[in-house]
Amino acid sequence: MSKIMKAAIIGGGVIGGGWAARFLLNGWDVVVSDPDPEVERKVGEVLANARRSLPALSDVTVPKEGKLSYAASIADAVAGADWIQESAPERLDIKHIIFAEIQKHCSDQALIGSSTSGFKPSELQQGAARPEQIFVAHPFNPVYLLPVIELVGVQETAERAKQVLEDIGMKPLIVRKEIDAHIADRFLEAVWREALWLIKDGIATTQEIDDVIRYGFGMRWAQMGLFETYRIAGGEAGMRHFIAQFGPCLSWPWTKLMDVPELTEELTNMIADQSDAQSGMHSIRELERIRDDNLVAMMRALKGRNWGAGELLNAQDARIKPPLPEDTDQPFMTLERVIPVDWMDYNGHMNESRYGQVFSDAGDVVMQMVGADEGYIAGGLSYFTVSNEIGYLNETHLGDVIHVRTQVLEARGKKLRMYHEMIRTSDGDLLATCNQLLIHVSLETRRACEPEGEVLAKITALGEAQSKLAKPASMRD
């Protein structure tokens, strides 16, 4: 049995709570330490949003949630921890005190990351007992959804941290040299400065600036970043042509990136009032859920294209995908997953087309069980679905954990008939059924033909084993 990993989260604010959720929902035990008397409520609210959204990114069974607890002291929190994440306020004196207490009580093999957005590791390590143990692990909010993490520190430590983060579905970037604000925040601060000037000078409002980003270049950046976007802008001649064409504008006095406007009370009130008019109708928790639902929908769209963040999600699904069922003397589970936001319809429940996808995915598992996999298909043979008779019995809602129980009714010659039951895991309610008929075909002729080789042997054996079972109860009703 593999060791259950433990993460200690020091600081339970928005970022600390996000770290707790990311580890917890990937099967780690998590201990949170924060002197705030409201810490359990605050972390609980972050975790509620994470439970609603992170599992919805996956199309396979997600790891069993770890155990969450709270510690009254840093010493109790870090005892036996494999990963320790400091997310305290951005004050170097406070961080030094925390790191000293952490290193007094933790294992010398524990990884100690800091969520700092500005301090360099050399600053964090000042006076530390084991300076090489401390590194920057700078995330982005929400930590439980956005995968990129900037790692800065001793190379060996950063490499160890990189492996851990990849295992929980994140995209760690080891920064080559330490620098103030690392990489991403330097971009963000440049855009922030320019936005402040546009508001101060009466050129644009907070909503107009946000609209320029979300309706324009923000969508391009989300899936191609900066340089790949501009490579396309260079046309057939590529990046060199783009630089030659647009390079001269770098010397034009458009921007005020090095000139920061004074955040006077007047400017602060102007920004706050515009922001209230833009988004004040929503509570912060409502905005977080809107943000999370939109991120899940966009990332799932990229997943279908196997691009950007979607490629990362597909790789994580492959990493955590459960083994194929082996016990064929009874109905077997072919699928377990969480229902995502992009499967919902205007009635507030799962759209009927998605039931077909669930049962199709369940049937694909049976294909893999008998060897009708990518290699078999590349050889020119496969199964086509001829008929799906779906019964809709109960509503399925956003965030429901469902599983599919499958029974093979017929596996003879070219025909494969399966019966699927879709069940809500939390209460065992039967949500839908599907009587599915597949026919084996030649991809060259697009006509029915007999299975061949190992697939024929396996499908025959599966059919014989399942033929001894009684008809499913839901078919007898």
| Structure confidence by residue, pLDDT tens digits, 362-391 | 999 999 999 999 999 999 999 999 999 999
Statement to judge: residues 166 and 250 lie in one domain: no
The residue among 247, 281, 315 that closes a domain is 281
Statement to judge: residues 160 and 61 lie in one domain: yes
Asked if residue 308 belongs to a domain, the reply is no
Statement to judge: residues 33 and 178 lie in one domain: yes
Query: Which CATH number does the domain housing residue 217 bear?
Result: 1.10.1040.10
For residue 1, the model assigns a pLDDT of: 42
Query: Which CATH number does the domain housing residue 26 bear?
Result: 3.40.50.720
Is pLDDT of 203 > 80? yes
Q: Considering the chain, what percentage of its residues have pLDDT values greater than 70? A: 99
Statement to judge: residues 101 and 246 lie in one domain: no
pLDDT mean across residues, the chain? 93
The first and second tokens of residue 150, run together, are 């900037």
Task: List pLDDT tens digits, range 248-260.
Answer: 777 777 777 777 7
Asked if residue 310 belongs to a domain, the reply is no
The residue among 223, 257, 281 that closes a domain is 281
Tell me the H-state helices in 423-472: 453-467
Statement to judge: residues 244 and 96 lie in one domain: no
Statement to judge: residues 202 and 165 lie in one domain: no
User: What's the CA gap between 222 and 274, in Å, rounded?
Assistant: 26
Statement to judge: residues 425 and 459 lie in one domain: yes
Q: 147: cis peptide before it, omega within 30°?
A: no
Any idea of the CA torsion for 305, 308, 312, 318, to the nearest 10 degrees?
Answer: 20
Is pLDDT of 477 > 70? no
Helix and strand tally (H, E) in the chain?
Answer: 18, 14
Instruction: Give residues with Cβ within 8 angstroms of 77, minimum separation 6.
Output: 8, 9, 10, 31, 32, 33, 71, 84
Asked if residue 288 belongs to a domain, the reply is no
Asked if residue 291 belongs to a domain, the reply is no
Burial of 254 (0-12, 13-18, 19+ CB in 10 A): exposed
Q: Considering the chain, what percentage of its residues have pLDDT values greater than 90? A: 80
Instruction: Give residues with Cβ within 8 angstroms of 193, minimum separation 6.
Output: 256, 257, 259, 260, 261
What does the radius of gyration of the chain's CA atoms come to, in whole angstroms?
27
The residue among 160, 182, 204 that closes a domain is 182
Statement to judge: residues 270 and 330 lie in one domain: no
Asked if residue 302 belongs to a domain, the reply is no
Statement to judge: residues 331 and 391 lie in one domain: yes
Statement to judge: residues 276 and 361 lie in one domain: no
Tell me the H-state helices in 321-420: 352-369, 374-378
Query: Which CATH number does the domain housing residue 403 bear?
Result: 3.10.129.10
Is pLDDT of 232 > 90? no
Mean pLDDT calculated for residue range 69-82: 97
Asked if residue 313 belongs to a domain, the reply is no
CA angle 16, 22, 27 (to 5 degrees): 125
| Domain of 80, in residue numbers | 6-182
Mean pLDDT calculated for residue range 444-458: 95
Entry field: residues in the chain: 477
How many domains are contained in the chain? 3
Asked if residue 289 belongs to a domain, the reply is no
If pLDDT is split at 50, 70 and 90, which confidence band does 2 have?
low
Task: List pLDDT tens digits, range 131-172.
Answer: 999 999 999 999 999 999 999 999 999 999 999 999 999 999
Contact at 8 Å (CB) between 68 and 20?
A: yes
What count of other Cβ atoms lies within 10 Å of the Cβ of residue 122?
Answer: 12
Statement to judge: residues 74 and 127 lie in one domain: yes
User: What's the CA gap between 324 and 368, in Å, rounded?
Assistant: 8
Statement to judge: residues 404 and 465 lie in one domain: yes
Asked if residue 286 belongs to a domain, the reply is no
